[in-house]
Amino acid sequence: MSLLTPEQHGAKAHSDGGWDSNEGRVVPVQTRSGRFTSVNRDDFPEVTGLELEWKLTPVALVRTLIDGTLDGAPYEYTAADAAGATIGWVDRSDARVGRAGVPEERASANAWGAFQKALAITVTAEEHVDVIVSRSGLGAEPRAAHTIITAKPNSSATIILQSSGQATLSENVEIVVEDGASLTVVSVQEWADDALHLASHFATVGQNAKLKHVVVSLSGTVVRINPSVHLDGEGADGDLYGLYFADAGQHFEQRVYLHHVARNTKGRVNYKGALQGKGAHTVWVGDVLIGRDAAGTDSYEQNRNLVLSEGARADSIPNLEIETGEILGAGHASATGRFDDEQLFYLQARGISEEEARRLVVIGFLSEIVQRIGNTELETRLHKAIEKELERTAP
Amino acid sequence: MSVLEVKDLHVSVETEQGTKHILKGVNLSIKQGEIHAVMGPNGSGKSTLAYSIAGHPKYHVESGSVTLDGVEVLTMSVDARARAGIFLAMQYPVEIPGVRMADFLRTAKTVLDGEAPPLRPWLKEVSEAMKGLRMEKAFSERNVNEGFSGGEKKRHEILQLELLKPKFAILDETDSGLDVDALKIVSEGVNRAHAANDLGVLLITHYTRILRYIKPDFVHVFVDGRVAEEGGPELAERLENEGYDRFLDPASVA
Ligand SMILES: Nc1ncnc2c1ncn2[C@@H]1O[C@H](COP(=O)(O)OP(=O)(O)O)[C@@H](O)[C@H]1O
Ligand SMILES: [Mg+2]
């Protein structure tokens, strides 16, 4: 693609991959799958902000989510009834809790320890069903939440998790895609301006099953969503998409981990972001691990950022680990840049003003992700939301 | 009747090796309804001429003028030039991810006309123009030029020419990379636009092949940043037989 020219961030893109010299001596970082995990907050050391997984996050702003007491009571949500899908609160002791993953960091474990009930969404529909779950009344008090999404074998659904309003929230979302199921999960963050939100999404994808996971972050002060997706069944598919638009003073972060476990799995990671305004900061880390048994893997990850004004910063760090030689293909791309003059010229040469041309290019840039969601209503709404973002931050 | 006039145009571009002078005093005068072929070898500056008239920011005008009905074009913004009636069909049309062709065409038409075209007649016009260029309907749902083949990109340029109805069109090697069938289809599109809108055409090409389908009134041989010889259609025939060698400085022919 010609839109972006690789830039400063590309050059240091791999510095987190192999070696870490935090403690003044060089130690090899263990493989991504070897990270410490626990459901107990206090099994994790205090967070100093220097750790690999925290060093790009404004830790001081989210300290209470990492260490503080969180209210884990059920909250209000709305969801329209849909045939073939059920939704409701279940106990901590429910067998589904912990099926898809275990926390890898302290804020995630803090939420795990605090939630009282988990919101369980279960899909049995073989005829594709769309479920929209909205929450807007979380309030400013620190909270914990837990969500379990289960797609039964051969079911097909799109689950849209829509968040708005105030929030100081740490949460875990577990996603289990059973054999032959096809599930789309879209997590849309349109929080109030002062919201703080840390989330870990854990997914396991079964044999010949398909997960499309989309993260859309448009507002909030700190929004950090870390999806870990394990392609555990042979022939599993994972499409991990994301789009974010950070304004002045906003920090949007996504640490994506795609683990090819079984044979013949296919993974596509594509995150795109726009940044505008002083202090807008985005972080994308893309860890792809192709495991020992994942022969026949086909994997590609990319992140592109469009920086629309001075004083904004996009960190983009792809890491690719390959433990088997017998893969179909694996690659990554990362680019951060400004407008492509050729695109602007093309539009202007058709009479379109420079301002309008810029608008079209930004919206088009992010639309590439929107167009992949596969829910027309949400796509239309997101287009409008992105246009509003642009107006809001226009210089 | 409108006239597009290029007078003693000198243009340079900044390169890593310093300033490179490309156009060295170009003179051309095109009246509405006329077809002028500009023919020259690779690297002679044909695209530079096209881009300079359209206002590409990379090209720096050192001196000279381009006027449309006596009004200086070189001081206008790129979009203002388009709105004044100048159209450039690009040699390498760029892909614009996420912008649907149908939306792009309607946006362009709206700014050029100053108002949105009534929807139904517009859609009909688009679909007929696409049919004329043998473009499948599904194209309008695709993103601008994204994943288009070379030939499809050229057809899309001519589709815009037919729909946007400029006074003057500069076609920068629209023929290159087209097979005979595509060349015919694209040429018919240009001829339709010419007939329908009394279009003035600056047809830039390396080969004489397209001149079998689009008949020029004038031919200009372009060498080393300027017009080296001018004449009628017979000049194209001479080029067909003799090539450009006669015009090239023997020292520069390797
Ligand atoms: N943006 C540019 N940067 C550097 N050199 C350029 C640029 N554009 C054109 N040139 C050079 O100017 C000369 C004329 O180019 P061009 O106008 O593209 O010729 P033509 O279209 O006749 O093939 C060539 O030598 C080309 O390499
Ligand atoms: Mg050229």
B105-160: pLDDT as tens digits: 999 999 999 999 999 999 999 999 999 999 999 999 999 999 999 999 999 999 99
The answer to whether A345 contacts B160, with C-beta atoms less than 8 Å apart, is no
Which of the listed residues B22, B172, B205 should we mutate to test ligand 1's pocket, taking the one with most ligand atoms within 8 A of CB?
Answer: B22
pLDDT band at B243 (very low <50, low <70, confident <90, very high): confident
pLDDT, position A393 = 56
DSSP state of B244: S
- Mean pLDDT over residues B180-205, rounded? 97
Look at residues A72, A80, A198 and name the one whose alpha carbon lies nearest to residue A146: A72
* Domain count within chain B: 1
Q: Which residue has the tokens 């979380």?
A: A138
DSSP A339: -
Tell if the CB–CB gap between B88 and A356 is shorter than 8 Å: no
Query: Coil, strand, or helix at residue B157?
Result: helix
Could you identify the residue written with the tokens 């695709």?
B142
**Which residues partner with A210 through β-bridges?**
A182, A237
pLDDT band per the 50, 70, 90 thresholds, residue B68:
very high
As to burial, measured by CB atoms within 10 angstroms (0-12 exposed, 13-18 middle, 19+ buried), residue A27 is exposed
Q: Which stretch of DSSP H or E encloses residue B127?
A: helix B119-132
Q: Which among A342, A343, A352 has CB closest to B79?
A: A352
Structural domain of B164: 3-252
A354 and B CB contact within 8 Å: yes
Q: pTM score, two decimals?
A: 0.82
Neighbours of ion ligand 2 (CB under 5 A): B 46-47
What distance in Å separates the CA atoms of residue A235 and residue A207, rounded to the nearest whole number? 6
Name the percent of chain A in helix, strand, coil, to the closest 5.
Answer: 20, 45, 40
pLDDT reported for residue B252:
53
Task: Flag residues of chain A having pLDDT under 70.
Answer: 1-30, 393-395
Q: How many residues does this entry show for chain B?
A: 254
B85: Cβ below 6 Å to ligand 1?
A: no
Ligand nearest to the CA of B11: 1
Chain A residues in contact with B156 by the CB 8 A cut-off are none
CB contacts of B111 in chain A (<8 Å) are 350-353, 356
DSSP tag of A46: P
Question: Which ligand gives the minimal distance to the CA of B172?
Answer: 2
A368 touches chain B (CB under 8 A): yes
For chain A, domain boundaries: 1-30, 38-339
CA A68 – ligand 1 centroid, Å: 63
pLDDT in tens, A88-111: 999 999 999 999 999 999 999 999
- Considering chain B, what is the average pLDDT of its residues? 94
Q: What is the pLDDT of residue A7?
A: 35
Q: Which residues of B touch A361 (CB under 8 A)?
A: 96, 99
Residue of B nearest to A3 (CA): B96
The domain that contains B194 carries what CATH number? 3.40.50.300
